[in-house]
């Protein structure tokens, strides 16, 4: 059993998460770093097993959201976006916004070395908290509570070209199925030299299949390839 003092200390954490635990001891365990458990003795369990489970919860939660939100994206693109969203850097930033570092139980050495602000500790704690909500109320509740913290980063990653490469995907498919490669042509541009907008058409075997507009030729080509991949009349 945890003390009444610790229970009261965790109330602001529940408020930040937007979830009240049925079993507050699960949250306490999720916020117990191994350094604290080691100093406290064998009876205190750390959060490392919860981290493992929470990683799986985040993977499924983010994957489910993306599959529903972005039906046009192939597995490779979805994997790249998910890797960015559930990276240590991303998780640590979310943990900071939730002030999770304030509630972590740390050993004296880790406390003195600034452990509450370490990205690895914050990210791991957030994974453990995800597992705690899952164990306390199930996956659907965990996803409902936690997904709000991820939507912006998922959506931003999904529209950032460095996380996806539609040109490569289209080329791989045309080479495999048709033994040819797409051809991109600039079919129009507008604006002054310092702020041009380009219009690009992609052709497969001299037949136009996709159109894209961008502030650079590369961006317009990516959008043209994306447009082509979404067409039902592709010859493969």
- In terms of residues, how long is the chain? 236
CA distance linking residue 17 with residue 173, whole number of Å? 44
- Write down the catalytic residue from 46, 51, 110, 127: 127
- Write down the catalytic residue from 55, 110, 199, 227: 55
**Residue whose structure tokens are 């001891």:** 25
CA distance linking residue 128 with residue 144, whole number of Å? 16
Does residue 136 carry a catalytic annotation? no
The β-bridge relationship of strands 197-204 and 207-214 is antiparallel
Question: In angstroms, what CA-CA distances link 96 with 92, 129, 191?
Answer: 6, 13, 42
Check if the beta carbon of residue 51 is closer than 8 Å to that of residue 131. Answer: yes
Check if the beta carbon of residue 202 is closer than 8 Å to that of residue 210. Answer: yes
- Assigned token pair, 70: 């972005």
CA 193 to chain CA centroid, Å, is: 37
What are the residue numbers of the active site?
55, 127
């Amino acid at each position: 059993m945890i003390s009444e003092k610790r229970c009261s200390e965790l109330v602001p954490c529940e408020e930040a998460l937007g979830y009240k635990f049925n079993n507050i001891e699960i949250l306490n365990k999720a916020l117990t770093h191994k350094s604290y458990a080691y100093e406290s003795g064998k009876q205190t369990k750390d959060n490392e097993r919860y981290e493992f489970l929470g990683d799986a919860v985040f993977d499924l939660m983010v994957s489910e959201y993306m599959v529903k939100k972005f039906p046009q994206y192939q597995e490779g693109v979805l994997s790249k976006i998910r890797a960015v969203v559930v990276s240590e850097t991303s998780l640590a930033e979310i943990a900071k916004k939730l002030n999770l570092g304030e509630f972590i139980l740390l050993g004296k050495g880790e406390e003195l070395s600034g452990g509450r602000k370490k990205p690895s500790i914050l990210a791991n704690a957030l994974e453990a908290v995800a597992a705690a909500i899952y164990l306390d109320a199930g996956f659907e509740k965990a996803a409902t509570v936690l997904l709000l913290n991820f939507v912006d980063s998922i959506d931003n990653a999904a529209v950032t070209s460095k996380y996806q490469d539609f040109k490569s995907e289209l080329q791989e498919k045309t080479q495999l199925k048709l033994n040819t490669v797409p051809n991109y042509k600039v079919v129009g541009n507008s604006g002054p030299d310092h702020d041009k907008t380009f219009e690009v058409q992609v052709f497969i075997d001299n037949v136009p299949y996709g159109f894209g507009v961008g502030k650079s030729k590369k961006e317009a080509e990516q959008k043209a390839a994306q447009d082509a991949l979404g067409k039902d009349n592709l010859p493969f």
